A and B are shown apart, each in its own frame.
Chain A
C-alpha cells in the first residue's frame, strides 16, 4: 500500500503541491490526471525521492518510505529516460544490475522480458533506431526488469498508437494482478477511464476529485437520455422535479431533481408512443475533467 499524506511543495512563489493526499492499494491501478503544470510530475518525483517535499510524507506499507524501498520502484519518467546509443539489451541489463541483480540474472531477466514484450528481435539494436512505440516499450521494460514492488509511470501512453496502448495496458494489468500498486499519469482521459481502477484529478497542486470512474461520474446530477420519436414538446412537464437539459431531434436529455422518480419518466415516455432508448447519462471523464478545470465544484 502506497500512501501520500499531506504533501506540500513550493518552488519559490509557485505552490506546486498543496496538501496532496491519496493512496494506492496493492493490485490497484491509480490514474493521475491534470493539466500541464498541475503537479503530476512533481508528485511522482517526490514518491521516487528525487525531489523532497517541503512537508508531508510518503508512506510505504505503513511506515515512511526508505531509500531501499524506493530502489524497488519501477519508474518511467516523463519524456525518454534511456541511453540513445546503447543497445536495448545492454540497457536493460544495466538497469537490472543497478537494482542489485547479478550480471547473469540481469541478462536472463532482460531476455525474458524482451520476449514477453515482443522486442526479442530488437535486443541488439541501438535504442535510437527503434520507433517511438518500441522505445516506450523498452522504457517500460527498464522499469520492470528488476521485478519492482511498485510502479510509478509518468505519461506512459504519451505518443502511443492504439495497438501499443493496448499491449502496454495488458502488461500493466498483469503487473497489478500480481499485487503491485500502479500509479500512472496521463492526458489521455479515455485511456485512463479504460485502464485505471481509480482516478485522481489534480489541479494547481490539489487533489480536486478522486475515486473509481463510476464514483466520479455518478457525482453529477441525475440525467437520462430518452429517445421517444412520437413525443411532443413538454411531455415530461407533468412529472415533478424534471427539467429539460437539451433536445437533439427525437432525443431528450432530462435532469431529475433529488427524489424525482425515473420510472415515472419512463412511463410518461411510453405513454407518448415507442421508446427507443432510455439511458442514464454519465458524463465522460473528459467532461468531468473539463468541469474541474473550468472551476466547477464537484461535491465530494
Chain B
C-alpha cells in the first residue's frame, strides 16, 4: 500500500469524524449568517439610496424641477418629477405616500416638505438650484449677464497628491478585512483542532497502534489534510453564500467582492492553514493531555493574533502603505495581510506571486521541523516533551522513524 493511499485513508477518517460534529455545524451557521447579514445590510443600504424619489413640484417650483433632477442624477440619485396642481393636492399626495417630497415656492422662499426625513441629495440639489435662481435674478437686476458670471464658476480646484496612494474605498477595506478575518478565525479554530486531534491519539495510545502501521509523517499529513478539508468545506461554503447573495442582490456597489478576491482568499486559506497546521501538530505532539494544549499552542496562536492586530491597525487603515507591503511579504503574515491588499486592489501580481512562493517555501521548512518534532515527541507519554527531546537532541528513548 503506497503512502498516498494510506494518507487518503487517514484523511478520510479525520474528515468524516469531524464534519458530523456539532462544532462544525455551529461555526458554519454562525459564519454564513454573519457574512450573509453583512451583505444583506450592504444591499439594503445601497438599495435604499438607489431607489428613485418621487418629488412633487407645485406652481413656480416647477421651473427648477429639470435642473434639480439633473443635479441629483449627477450625484447618483434618480428623481421622478410629479407636477402638482396645487399645494393642497401636493400635500395630499405626500400624506398618501404617492410622493416622497413636495417642493413649493421659488427662489429664497423655496420650501421642501417631506413626511419625516429629508433626503440629503435632494436637499443639496434643491439648495443649489434655488440659490442659482436667486443669483441669476440678482445679476440681471444689476445689469450683468448671468451666463457670463456663472461661466466664471465653471471650474474645479486643482488636486495635487504629494505621495499618491491608490486609495481604497472603505468597502474594499471592509471586504479585505472580512476575507482576512475569516481566514484568521478559521486557521485558529482548525489549527487547534489539529493539535487536539494529535493529543487525542497520543493520550489514548492509538498512536502506538497507528505508528506500528504507518510512518509518523504519513499520520501527521493525513490528519492535517483531513481536518483541512473540513475547514475548506466551511470556507468554500461561506464564500459561496457570499458570492450568491452578492450577485442575487445585484450589489454593483461592491465590485470588490469579486470572484478573484474570493478565489484568492481560498488559495490563501489553503496555504495559511497548511503552514499553521504543521506548527499546531508539532505543538500538540509535545503534550499528553488536552489541558496542556494551550501552553504549547500559545506561541503559534500569538503569531496569528499579532498578525490580525497588524491587519487591523496597519493594513486596514492604509493597504497601499510601505508598512503593509512589507508585512504582506512576511510568510507567517502573508495569508492574513495579503488578502487585505488584494481586496483593496493595491497588490501587483508579481508581489502576490512572490509571497505565494515564499509561503510555499516556508511550508516545506515547517514540514521538516514539525515532522521531526512530531516523530520525536508523539510516543513520549507523560510529562511535556522538552524542546531538546523534540528536536531529537536528547540521547534517550529515540523512537524509530
Given A79-B205, A84-B204: A52 in contact with B398 (beta carbons within 8 A): yes
Quick check: A80 and B204 within 8 Å, CB to CB?
A: yes
Q: Which of A10, A71, A77, A100 contacts B396 (CB 8 A)?
A: A10
Does residue A81 face the partner (Cβ distance < 8 Å to B)? Answer: yes
Chain B contacts with A in 337-395, Cβ cutoff 8 A: 379, 395
Given contacts A51-B400, A98-B214, contact A142 B209 (CB under 8 A): yes
Distance from B142 Cβ to chain A, minimum over Cβ atoms (Å): 90
Asked if A297 lies at the interface with its beta carbon under 8 angstroms from chain B, I say no
Contact of B379 among A51, A90, A94, A99 (CB under 8 A): A51
Contact residues of A between 35 and 77, Cβ < 8 Å to B: 45, 48-52, 70-71, 73, 75, 77
A97–B214 Cα distance when bound, in Å, is: 11
Min CB gap B251→A, angstroms: 42
In the complex, A99→B214 CA distance in Å?
Answer: 9
Quick check: B206 and A75 within 8 Å, CB to CB? no
* Chain B residue with the shortest CB-CB distance to A14: B396
The listed residue (A48, A83, A97) touching B206 by CB distance below 8 A is A83
- Let me know if A82 and B206 touch, CB within 8 A: yes
Q: Are A50 and B399 in contact (CB under 8 A)?
A: yes
Q: Does A245 contact B (CB under 8 A)?
A: no
Whole-angstrom distance between the Cβ of A105 and the nearest chain B Cβ: 12
Measured CA separation A51–B211 after assembly (Å): 10
Within 8 A of A (CB), among B1-25: 1, 6, 9-10, 13, 17
User: Once the chains bind, are B9 and A77 in contact (CB under 8 Å)?
Assistant: no
Docked CA distance A90–B16 (Å):
10
CB-contact partner of A77 in B200, B209, B398, B399, under 8 A: B209
- Residues on A with beta carbons closer than 8 Å to the beta carbon of B248: none
Contact yes or no, B208 A48, CB < 8 A: yes
Identify which of residues 195-213 in chain B touch chain A, using a CB-to-CB cut-off of 8 Å.
Answer: 200, 204-206, 208-213
Interface residues of A in 84-129 (CB under 8 A from B): 84-86, 90, 94-95, 97-100
B residues within 8 A CB of A142?
209
A162 to B35: give the CA distance in the assembly, Å: 59
Cα(A79)–Cα(B205), bound, Å: 7
CA distance A99 to B6 in the complex (A): 9
- Specify which chain B residues have a CB less than 8 angstroms from the CB of A95 in the assembled complex: 209, 213
Q: How many residues of B contact A (CB 8 A)?
A: 24
A119 to B366, CA, bound (A): 44
Q: A86-B17, A99-B213 given as contacts; is B400 within 8 A of A50 (CB)?
A: yes
Q: Which of B17, B209, B214 has the most CB of A within 10 A?
A: B209
Please name the residue on chain B nearest to A98 by beta carbon: B213
Nearest residue (CB) in A for B381 is: A79
Among residues 196 to 237 in chain A, which have CB atoms less than 8 Å away from a CB atom of chain B? Answer: none
Question: In the assembled complex, how far is the CB of residue B62 from the closest CB belonging to chain A, in whole angstroms?
Answer: 76
Is the CB of A12 closer than 8 A to any CB of chain B? yes
**Quick check: A45 and B214 within 8 Å, CB to CB?**
no
List of B residues within 8 angstroms of A73 by Cβ: 212
B208 neighbours in A (Cβ, 8 Å): 45, 48, 50, 75, 77, 81
Q: Is A277 located at the chain interface by the 8 A CB criterion?
A: no
The distance in angstroms between the C-alpha atoms of A105 and B231, with both chains bound, is 31
Closest chain B residue to A76, Cβ basis: B209
Which residues of the other chain, B, contact A257 by a CB distance below 8 angstroms?
Answer: none
Contact check, A49 vs B206: say whether CB atoms are below 8 A apart: no
Interface presence of A78 (CB below 8 A): yes
A98 to B395 Cα, complex, angstroms: 31
Contact A75 B212 (CB under 8 A): yes
Closest chain-A Cβ to B381's Cβ sits at a distance in Å of: 9
* CB nearest to A45 among chain B residues: B208
Q: List 13 A-B contacts (CB under 8 A).
A: A11-B396, A45-B379, A71-B212, A73-B212, A75-B209, A79-B205, A84-B204, A86-B17, A95-B209, A98-B6, A98-B9, A98-B10, A98-B213
Chain B positions within 8 Å of A, measured between CB atoms, are 1, 6, 9-10, 13, 17, 200, 204-206, 208-214, 379, 395-400
Q: A10-B396, A94-B13 are in contact. List 9 more A-B contacts (CB 8 A).
A: A12-B396, A50-B211, A50-B379, A71-B213, A90-B13, A97-B9, A98-B6, A98-B210, A142-B209
